[in-house]
Amino acid sequence: LDKPVLDYLPGFRMHDDYVTRHLTVRDLLCHRSGLPRHDAVWYGSEDSREELFQKLRYLAPNRGFREVFQYQNLMYMTAGYLAGQLAHSSWEERVKTRIFQPLEMNRANFSIGAMQKDPDHAKPYNKEGDQVKRMDFRNIDAIGPAGSVNASVEEMCHWLIAQLNGGKYEGAEIVSAASLAESHTPVIPVAGPLSGYLAFDNNGSPITYGLGWFISTHKGRPAIQHGGNIDGFSAMVAFLPQDSVGVVVLTNLNGTMLPAVIRNYIFDKMLGETVRDWNGEMLAMIRKMEEQQEGQEEEEDLKRVKGTQPSHKLAAYGGTYSHPAYGDITISPKGDSLYFSYHTLEVALGHYHYDVFAGKSPLIGPVKVAFHTNIDGDVSRLSTVMEPALDAIIFERKAEEEAFTEAELDAFTGEYLIMGAQKLTVSRKGGELQMTVPGQPTYTLEYYKGLEFKLKGLNGYSALFQKAGSGKVSGLVMIQPNGQFKGEKVE
């Protein structure tokens, strides 16, 4: 557990070289990498587990390494990926053979596809206003080790029995007693509103995290637990080790706090304690949070600068913008709106102020995007908050897809005389244009937009071709940091 991940996975890279070399398996399992959640990287993405693993190097931290507890699903994915690689297999196969089979969890599986083949499977729901509506299943195969197990309450109780019985089930050792005890031992404190919000603890005692478990108390008794949420489902697994009491609560409602309420109610009943009004307390807490959220939205509206206009026509904002970890955001102008598309999410954006556009998704809430113009007057990037613990993340605009056939590219080839003195040659090599200037290396021309091509590897240099009234290419303008230089095509 205390060896660097890099010893097991040579391709492992984090944002910081020191963290890359020193982060251990224990660090993965107790959420102290320094990274905030960064959930938008994987949520709704079509990336494979390997592709997500390779993107870790581009994720910025917001806290120091081993400084604080910050829940991080990608770190648990990495732990599962590591387990699979060491076994020359997969995390799924390891869990199936080492956990499911000896625990007789015969219906348990790892995907929504397998889940839906079970004739007695739950369907996901979401609360929208005062209505509860069906929602789509969410495929989380790639991030699987962080929480893709689907199982029944009955079979999850087999896992609980092993937790309460020193790692044994029906006399067979599933996990060694030493390993189990280590996973139940506090490693790092859990601070902030998380503890109150999820009602992990109700006795004022410190909340800590072990290896995959929150460790707290229920009315003074040691309590070990973990919840989980994904689209349409909320779960809670909890037990009181000194009292041999455990509970599993599975619900098919998105983001509900009901599992924590039921957990506490059952604990009170099983222990013969006075039953508190857990439901009333939770509802009061939720109402308070909703009021705070409404206040934040009103406060946000106060920041809006009225009477401003976008600096470009809507069409100029359209395109694909990319980040090495978060992937692509596509902006599509439609009517008087811009449509923001990211993974499976699409949100209509209206003008907010200046070059900022805003909208709201029923799934993730407010979305706000700021567009940025470069020195040439082109919209070259956008910024938007993808991780609440960090500043807005920059997405660079990708070059438009080249729409020229090889025959059409041939129309640009030939010799050009710049300012009546400097001769340069444009040729085609396969599906690319190349430019040769005497005394200089040959440059590849990368399509940018319209009739403009950038010189690959030379920032600020591009060739803007020009056409005559006949439609033929008649010249070009070399755009450089020190000026623009016009050239005629030599026929």
Residue 270, SS3?
Answer: helix
Q: Which amino acid is at 154?
A: E
- Cα of first residue to Cα of last residue in the chain, in angstroms, is 71
Asked if residues 308 and 353 have their Cβ atoms less than 8 Å apart, the reply is yes
Could you tell me the CA-to-CA distances from 56 to 64, 193, 212, 255 in Å, in that order? 16, 27, 20, 27
Per-residue pLDDT of the chain (491 residues; tens, 9 = 90+): 999 999 999 999 999 999 999 999 999 999 999 999 999 999 999 999 999 999 999 999 999 999 999 999 999 999 999 999 999 999 999 999 999 999 999 999 999 999 999 999 999 999 988 899 999 999 999 999 999 999 999 999 999 999 999 999 999 999 999 999 999 999 999 986 544 444 556 666 778 999 999 998 898 899 999 999 999 999 999 999 999 999 999 999 999 999 999 999 999 999 999 998 989 988 888 888 888 877 777 777 788 999 999 999 999 999 999 999 999 999 999 999 999 999 999 999 999 999 999 999 877 889 999 999 998 899 999 999 999 999 999 999 998 777 789 999 999 999 999 988 889 999 999 989 999 999 999 999 999 888 999 999 898 899 999 999 888 999 999 999 999 999 999 97
Q: At what angle do helices 258-271 and 278-302 cross, to 10 degrees?
A: 160
d(CA 55, CA 51): 6
Return the SS3 of 397.
Answer: strand
Q: Are 367 and 349 in contact (CB under 8 A)?
A: yes
Question: Distance (Å, rounded) from C-alpha 409 to C-alpha 241?
Answer: 73
407 three-state secondary structure: helix
Q: What is the DSSP letter of 377?
A: S
Using alpha carbons, select from 269, 285, 179, 256 the residue that is nearest to residue 218: 269
Question: What are the structural domains of the chain?
Answer: 314-397 (2.40.128.50), 406-490 (2.40.128.50)
Could you give the CA distance from residue 260 to residue 282 in angstroms, rounded to a whole number?
9
CB atoms within 10 A of CB 313: 9
Contact 71, 40 (CB under 8 A): no
pTM: 0.86
For residues 454 and 55, give the distance between their C-alpha atoms in angstroms, rounded to a whole number: 27
